């Protein structure tokens, strides 16, 4: 099965093996386990949710395991074959993972061959249709938006690109918008939800960017405790001068809360802008403001700032 036909099932399977530890694999594993179908996730990456930071994948893995989902990370799949119970996935490590059903959630390879784009003079790269910053293909009157250009494989990114392409095709060249300037937040709708936007720690470290990680935990916030949703955190990666590089939210409502961080990054706001924005209290998004306050308090520990304060007062 894939995400396209799994919802056509008439009955809940007795068991399921899932290839892929990304959003679809994790969401379906939790959902079907709760319906009484034991699930196993097997995939090649070192942790769940490969695009996210490792701690996000490990937090979600712990939650899934508590519900009975078996997670097999860093596995090389040798073959898939029929078995007495339905299907078996055999790994290089010698494991044989069996289930009544198999869900393949390991991503997709773009296939535009049937479109015969070469006949229209549209260039196709190694993995996708080539576009410029305005979403124009090599034929400037033809635009390519969404998964087909390979830039951001999310439905909301495709919708946004479609809007940009439509506006660009009606505008004079000097007014056209660069679709790459718009950040793409994303959410995995498990419990807890996992949301991210901007750069991950892996990307920042690879680029040798200097940043500070600031975390506000749900468990330290009265509203979350009162609502019984004290698992999770709001975490931001912030530069020395307050530039926001990225944010990660794990927990109830993270899909709603991540959008404020997306706007801040897109508009190049500093963390002090968030600190000076009044947030409704005790809403969950107040944790975003708490992150900004924690960053500012860390600045107060600076020796030179303390010397200035002593000199002034």
Residue 110 has phi, psi (to 5 degrees) of -65, 140
Domain definitions of the chain by residue range? 6-104, 116-181, 186-299
Number of Cβ within a 10 Å radius of residue 259:
14
Both tokens assigned to 105: 């959630």
Of 281, 296, 285, which is closest to residue 214 (Cα–Cα)?
A: 296
Radius of gyration of the chain (CA): 23
Q: Tell me: the pLDDT tens digits for 51-99? A: 899 999 999 999 999 999 999 999 999 999 999 999 999 999 889 999 9
Question: Of the CATH numbers 3.50.50.60, 3.40.50.1820, 2.60.120.1130, 2.60.120.380, which one belongs to the domain with range 6-104?
Answer: 3.50.50.60
Q: Distance (Å, rounded) from C-alpha 198 to C-alpha 101?
A: 36
Domain made up of 186-299: CATH architecture? 2-Layer Sandwich (3.30)
Q: Distance (Å, rounded) from C-alpha 63 to C-alpha 54?
A: 14
Q: Tell me: the pLDDT tens digits for 212-238? A: 999 999 999 999 999 999 999 999 999
Residue carrying structure tokens 């305005």:
134
pLDDT at residue number 308 = 77
Q: pLDDT tens digits for the chain (313 residues)?
A: 999 999 999 999 999 999 999 999 999 999 999 999 999 999 999 999 998 999 999 999 999 999 999 999 999 999 999 999 999 999 998 899 999 999 999 988 888 888 999 999 999 988 799 999 999 999 999 999 999 999 999 999 999 999 999 999 999 999 999 999 999 999 999 999 999 999 999 999 999 999 999 999 999 999 999 999 999 999 999 999 999 999 999 999 999 999 999 999 999 999 999 999 999 999 999 999 999 999 999 888 777 777 777 888 8
pLDDT at residue number 270 = 97
Of 155, 157, 200, 156, which is closest to residue 57 (Cα–Cα)?
A: 200
pLDDT at residue number 126 = 83
Q: Cα 36 vs. chain centroid, distance in angstroms? A: 27
pLDDT at residue number 148 = 94
DSSP string computed for the chain: --TTTGGG-SS--S-EEEE--SHHHHHHHHHHHHTT--EEEE-SSSSSSTTS-HHHHHHHHHHHHHTT-EEE-S--EEEEEEETTEEEEEETTS-EEEESEEEE-S------GGG-GGGGT--B-SSSB---TTSB-SSTT-B--SGGG-S---HHHHHHHHHHHHHHHHS-GGG---GGGS---EEE-SSS-EEEEE--HHHHHHTT---EEEEEEGGG-HHHHHHT----EEEEEE-TTSBEEEEEEESTTHHHHHHHHHHHHHTT-BHHHHHTS---TTSTTHHHHHHHHHHHHHHTT-HHHHHHHHHH-
Q: Are 176 and 134 in contact (CB under 8 A)?
A: yes
pLDDT at residue number 10 = 95
pLDDT at residue number 306 = 76
């Amino acid at each position: 099965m894939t995400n396209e036909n799994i919802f056509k099932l008439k009955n809940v399977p007795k068991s399921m093996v899932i290839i892929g530890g990304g959003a679809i694999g994790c969401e379906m594993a939790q959902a079907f386990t709760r319906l009484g179908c034991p699930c196993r996730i097997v995939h090649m990456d070192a942790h769940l949710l490969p695009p996210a930071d490792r701690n996000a994948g490990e937090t979600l893995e712990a939650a899934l395991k508590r519900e009975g989902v078996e997670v097999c990370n860093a596995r090389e799949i040798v073959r898939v074959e029929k078995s007495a119970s339905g299907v078996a996935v055999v790994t290089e490590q010698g494991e044989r993972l069996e289930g009544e059903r198999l869900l393949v959630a390991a991503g997709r390879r773009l296939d535009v061959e049937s479109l015969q784009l070469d006949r229209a003079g549209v260039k196709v790269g190694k993995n996708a249709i080539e576009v410029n910053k305005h979403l124009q293909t090599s034929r400037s009157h033809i635009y390519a938006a969404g998964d087909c250009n390979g830039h951001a494989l999310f439905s909301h990114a495709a919708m946004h690109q479609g809007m940009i392409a439509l506006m660009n095709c009606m505008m004079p060249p000097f007014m056209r918008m660069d679709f790459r300037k718009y950040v793409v937040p994303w959410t995995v709708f498990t419990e807890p939800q996992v949301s991210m936007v901007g750069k991950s720690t892996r990307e920042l470290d690879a680029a040798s960017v200097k940043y500070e990680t600031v975390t506000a935990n749900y468990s330290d916030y009265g509203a979350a405790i009162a609502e019984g949703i004290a698992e999770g955190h709001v975490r931001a990666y912030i530069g020395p001068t307050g530039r926001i590089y990225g944010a990660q939210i794990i927990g109830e409502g993270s899909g709603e809360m991540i959008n404020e961080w997306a706007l801040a990054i897109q508009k190049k706001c500093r963390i002090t802008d968030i600190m000076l924005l009044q947030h409704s209290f005790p809403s969950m998004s107040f944790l975003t403001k708490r992150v900004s306050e924690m960053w500012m308090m860390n600045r107060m520990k600076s020796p030179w700032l303390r010397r200035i304060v002593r000199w002034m007062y």
